[in-house]
Structure 1
Amino acid sequence: MAGTPAEAGPGDRPEATLDRNDFTYSVVVPVYNSAGVVGRTVDHIVSVFEAEGLDYQLVLVNDGSSDGSWDVIAEKARGNKHVVALNLLRNYGQHHANLAGLREATGDFVITMDDDGQNPPEEAMRLIDEAMHGHDVVFGKFERKQAAGYRRLGSKAISMINRRIFLQPQDLAVSNFRILRRDVVDRICASRTAHPYITGQALMYSSHRANVTVRHQARDVGKSSYGMGRILKLVFTILFSYSSFPLRAAALGGFVVAAVSFLLGAVYLVRSFFVDTQVQGWTTIAVLLAVFNGVTIGMLSMLGEYVVRTLNSVSAQDTYHVRERVTG
């Protein structure tokens, strides 16, 4: 049934209905401050696709790195006709870099993966084989994710949001290691949003999704730059760009405050008929005004956030800018 996820398993899968050699593939890799490892990652991807005899394109997107990553991937692109390197004007974020890569990609299927070697390129063959069963999106489901505890907690929080906002099925796991069919890629690229979120958009613009179990390796060099701050920023982006939940929560809070204010006003009004008014009530008034004004300012700030994001969405032509493009 459309929209029902599946997971590959040995011995219980029918034969693929499509032949992977009949299609072309693009691999999109956002690159950020990974000069020490990205060269090996590129070589590994190229060797795997060459060994499999697949028609491929490798798109490397430098997202404003400051450590020489651009020099590494530009050199790789000059030496291989299958490799394209894009240098973004500044650091826009992983999802903007992925979007730039998707728009550059020409393959019938597009695979996205990380630059740090944690997604073994040979595991991409599992994604491809599962896509050959007719799925429009296949997410890699990690056997065991090699990440810090706070990142796993962040992933769980984002997964909860995905299920509420993008209707992610309960038995579907999502990750940045995925394969997207061309029609899904085209819908994502055509979407007018100043705040791309590729995982959520892949869920929005697909109907036949699946999981396949893949390995997730520990980093050989350095540590992830995707800290708690970036996770919180992503949560903030999802909530305000793709959901009306904060606005509805603010409205509910406003109604609650209004109801409490009305009741307090009624209580003080009735009390004034039986008890003499005293000047000591100024303290209560000052506290109530501070609370209610604070809530009002908070709600206005939230409305302002929606207005700014709406303005960005309707006025922004490009959410990123490519400074340089290198190919063999």
Structure 2
Amino acid sequence: MVHLSVVVPCYNEAEVIGDFHTALVAALEPTGETFEICYVDDGSGDRTLNELRRLAADDTRVRYTSFSRNFGKESAMLAGLRMTAGDAAVLMDADLQHPPTLLPRMLDLHRHGYDQVVAQRDRTGEGALRTALSRTYYRLVRRCMDVEVIDGAGDFRLLSRRAVDSVLSLPESNRFSKGIFSWIGFDTVSFTYQNVERAAGESKWGGRHLLNYGIDGLLSFNSKPLRLAIHTGLCLFLSALVYAAYIIGNVVLDGVDTPGYATLLTAIVALSGIQLATLGIIGEYVGRIYHESKRRPHYVVSETDNRPRDFSPRAPLEAAGQARPTS
């Protein structure tokens, strides 16, 4: 019986995956808990899959799944959670920005009865502009979303088995895990750790990806943008009525000429911009409905490792007298 499953999505992490695995095992073995490590290769273009094959050959506690192409981190996390067999599961990145040394603390808090243990990073070392934009975004999200998403609380967290099962029971294709983790509820505790730089490689989350991810967060768990469009339209309609009454009053009482093309063009441009934005919001929701209606799988697996596992505290193949394969 395995107690802890560690889910590690990977995308072009060949430079760091070996160091990560060493650090992870070094952090977990002293706890005395049985554990497995579930790696998910999200269609990497480097040697990540070869590294995962080597790790699985060297350590029987390692399992891996490789996608046929890049399906995104949300799909990779879902695949990893589906692989888990433990009483609890930890989600973490392979770039060592999620320190493995925090896992014993997370396990200790889980033993106190918490179903979710969230490691919440601070913003040490981030640029002032990115920090300001992130805080503004999370303030906006808290006002718009039907669930609470805390600034700095990302995917690095421990989930109990019933929390994992609840996440897996949600069938939607457009997944926003931060919202899902809040939506399922359960007893949750968090602690803060200092932000850590990547050990190697480059971040896969550029400005465009962050913007798209932010839009997903705003639209995934509420319909308030549509309600906002309705409110904006009503306000503009009332403003137009007041303005029309003002113009008519000036003409009747004072004989003032009606405003010329400047006012008309300004009104047209403003209204057109609002209409386009509203259509964009509606189109985004319709597109999500269309995507969900197709019922496509979240990902396609090209290779997976489903051999029987030995979850003893230390179970490398060398300990069983088998030679390490060469890569």
The normalised TM-score by structure 2 is: 0.82
Q: Which amino acid aligns with 2:238?
A: A
**Segment drifting more, 292-301 vs 267-276:** 267-276
**What's the offset of the Cα at 1:57?**
1.4
The answer to whether the 8 A contact 1:27-1:110 is kept is yes
Structure 2 matches for 1:126-137, cutoff 5 A?
A: 126-137=105-116
Q: Which residue does 1:111 correspond to in 2?
A: 90
Give 1:137 deviation, angstroms.
0.2
Q: Establish whether residue 91 from structure 1 lines up as the match of residue 70 from structure 2.
A: yes
State the Cα distance separating 1:242 from its structure 2 match.
1.1
Is 1:294 equivalent to 2:273 in the alignment? yes
CA deviation map 1:69-123 (0-9, x unaligned): 1221132223332212111232232222111211121211010111112223232
Cα-Cα RMSD: 2.8
Q: 2:229 aligns with which of 250, 255, 270?
A: 250
Q: 1:162 to 1:75 in 2, by over 3 A?
A: farther
Hey, what's the Cα distance between the residues in 1 that align with 2:225 and 2:132?
21
1:155 deviates by 4.5
Change (3 A) 1:100 1:243: same
Following TM superposition, by how much is the alpha carbon of 1:146 offset from its aligned partner in structure 2, in angstroms? 5.4
**1:123 and 1:215 in contact (8 A); partners too:** no
Identity %: 27
Q: Which runs of 5+ in 1 are unaligned?
A: 1-21
Contiguous gaps of at least 5 residues in structure 2: 308-327
What residue number does 1:17 align with?
none
1:38 and 1:115 in contact (8 A); partners too: yes
Instruction: Give the aligned partner of residue 322 of structure 1.
Output: 301
Partners of 1:242 and 1:316 in 2: how far apart?
19
Q: Does 1:174 align with 2:153?
A: yes
The superposition leaves residues 52-80 of structure 1 with CA deviations (integer Å, 9 ceiling, x where unpaired) of 33221111111222222122113222333
Count of aligned positions: 305
Residues 92-241 of structure 1 correspond to what in structure 2 (within 5 A)?
A: 92-142=71-121, 145=124, 147-153=126-132, 155-157=134-136, 159-161=138-140, 163-164=142-143, 165=145, 167-168=147-148, 174-214=153-193, 216-241=195-220
TM-superposed deviation, 1:130: 0.5
Give the distance between the partners of 1:169 and 1:204, measured in 2 at CA.
10
Cα deviation code 1:258-284 (max 9, x no counterpart): 112222332344445464878x83554
Indicate the SS of the match to 1:107.
Answer: coil
Question: Helix, strand or coil for the counterpart of 1:134?
Answer: coil
